[in-house]
Amino acid sequence: MTTSDSIRSQHDRALSELLLSLPEVQAVNQKLALHEAQGHLGVRRRLLSTSVRMSSAMAPGLNRTARQCMDILGVDMPVELYAYSSPHFNAACVKPESGRLFIMFSSSLLDSFDDEELRFVMGHELGHFVYGHHDIPVGYMLKGQPPVSPSLALQLTSWSRYAEISADRAGALCTQNFDAVARSLFKLASGVTSTVVRFNLKDFLQQIDDMQMTDDLVGTSSSAEDWFMTHPFSPLRVKALQMFHQSEYMKKDGVNSATLELGLESIMALMEPSYLESKTDAALSMRHLLFAGTLLVANANGSISKAEIEAFEKFFGKNEFRDDFNLERLRADLSTRIDTVNKYNSLPKRMQVLKDLCVMARAEGKANHPEIVVLKEIATRLEVPGFFVDQLLSVNTELD
C-alpha cells in the first residue's frame, strides 16, 4: 500500500536529517521554542482575530475533504480550517498548537479552485505537517539577522524545493487526479482562472524544454535567482508530478521508485547552482572532468572540428583551445578525474557535468556513435544510468 511515508522524496528526507543536525538550525529552533514558551506566537489566537474559522456547518465539503485527506495521509489530530481575505492564491499549514492543526486558505483560492483542486492543495499542506517540514524554519533563517552563510542558504533552499515535491506528492496521493493537480499548479503559478485561458498541459510542460535549451546555450544550468528560490518553478513541479503519477506508487506496472527519484533529480538539477562559476573543490573537480571530457568526446571520431572548438570555447573562454593539447594524457588521466568528481559531488551535480558533455556531443548537430560510446563510458563511471544520456541526446532529435 502507498503510504505518505513511502512517497516522501528521498532528498527531502536526507537533507532534512542533515539540516536538523546542524548547530545553526538547532540554535534557531531553540530560540523559537523559547519565544513560543513566553507566549509570543499564539497562532490560533491570531487566526481567530484575523481570519474566519470554517466550521463543519459553514463549509461541510471542505471539512469532509480535510478528513478524507487526513485518513489517506495518516494524520490523526483535530484540525481547524480558516479563510482569510486576499486576492492572491495561497494556503498554509502552521505548526500545531495545543494538539490542534490549522490550515488556512486565501479567499480567492477558495472561490476559484474546484473540489479536486482544493483536495490537492489540502493534501499538499497536510504533507508539510506529515513530513515535519515545520521543524526547519527555512523562511525565518533566510530572512534572519545576521544572515546565514551562503552555503547554508543554498542547502536550505535546495532542501525546501525537495520538501515542496514531497508535499506535492502527498497532495497527488489525496486527489489521484493528475489533471486536477496540473490545473491547480497552473492556477497558482499564473493567477489565471478565467475561461479566456484554457489550460494546456503540453504547452505548460514545453516551458521546461525551453528552459533546458536556453541553459544549454551558455553551458550553465541555472541563473542565480533560481538557486535561492525555495519553491521549484511550477512547470517543474508539474513535470515531477507527472512522473510520480507514472510510478509504481500510483499505478500498477509503473516505474520503480529508484527510477522515479532519478528522473526527479534530472529535473531538479535545472535549479541547482552551476559548477562553472563556483570555486569550491567540488566544482573544480567537475571543471577538470569537463575539460578532459569535452576534448575526448570531441575527438571521439579522430578529429576535432570547428564547431567542436567553438563549443569548447563556450565553456572555457575564447582562444582557450590549443592544437597541442595532449589528448593521450587526458585519456590516461580520465579515471582519476572521475574518481575525484565522485568523491566530492552528489548525483544531481554529476548529472550536470554529463549534461554539459552532451552539449559537446551535439556540437555538430547530432551525436555520432563514437561520441555516444565515450559519453556512456563516463556516465557509467559517474554512476549515472545510461538512459539519462539517451534522454539528453534525444532532446536534440526532437529539434531536428
Q: Which stretch binds Zn ion (CB under 5 A): 158-166, 188-196, 361-369, 377-385?
A: 158-166
Q: Give one word for 99, left, alpha or beta, with left for phi > 0 and alpha for psi -120 to 50.
A: left
Q: Which is nearer to Zn ion, 148 or 167 (CB)?
A: 167
How near is the Cβ of 116 to Zn ion at its closest, in Å? 18
Binding residues for Zn ion, rule CB under 5 A, total 2
Q: Which is nearer to Zn ion, 167 or 379 (CB)?
A: 167
Q: How far apart are CA 246 and CA 249, in angstroms?
A: 8
Q: Which is nearer to Zn ion, 9 or 274 (CB)?
A: 9
Q: Which stretch binds Zn ion (CB under 5 A): 30-38, 160-168, 346-354, 360-368?
A: 160-168
Q: Which is nearer to Zn ion, 190 or 336 (CB)?
A: 190
Q: Which stretch binds Zn ion (CB under 5 A): 50-58, 112-120, 157-165, 371-379?
A: 157-165
Q: Does 188 bind Zn ion (CB under 5 A)?
A: no
How big is the chain by its Cα radius of gyration, in Å?
A: 24
Q: Which stretch binds Zn ion (CB under 5 A): 9-17, 156-164, 201-209, 369-377?
A: 156-164
Q: Which is nearer to Zn ion, 171 or 348 (CB)?
A: 171
How near is the Cβ of 167 to Zn ion at its closest, in Å? 5
How near is the Cβ of 240 to Zn ion at its closest, in Å? 13
How near is the Cβ of 170 to Zn ion at its closest, in Å? 10
Q: Which stretch binds Zn ion (CB under 5 A): 167-175, 250-258, 273-281, 352-360?
A: 167-175
Choose among 149, 163, 64, 54: nearest CA to 106.
54
Residue nearest to Zn ion (CB): 167
Q: Which is nearer to Zn ion, 80 or 164 (CB)?
A: 164
Asked if 70 contacts 126 with a C-beta cutoff of 8 angstroms, the reply is yes
The one among 167, 182, 372, 379 contacting Zn ion by CB under 5 A: 167
Q: Which is nearer to Zn ion, 133 or 337 (CB)?
A: 133
How near is the Cβ of 128 to Zn ion at its closest, in Å? 6
Cell of 364: 555538430
How near is the Cβ of 223 to Zn ion at its closest, in Å? 22
Q: Which is nearer to Zn ion, 157 or 274 (CB)?
A: 157
How near is the Cβ of 238 to Zn ion at its closest, in Å? 14
Binding residues for Zn ion (CB under 5 A)? 164, 167
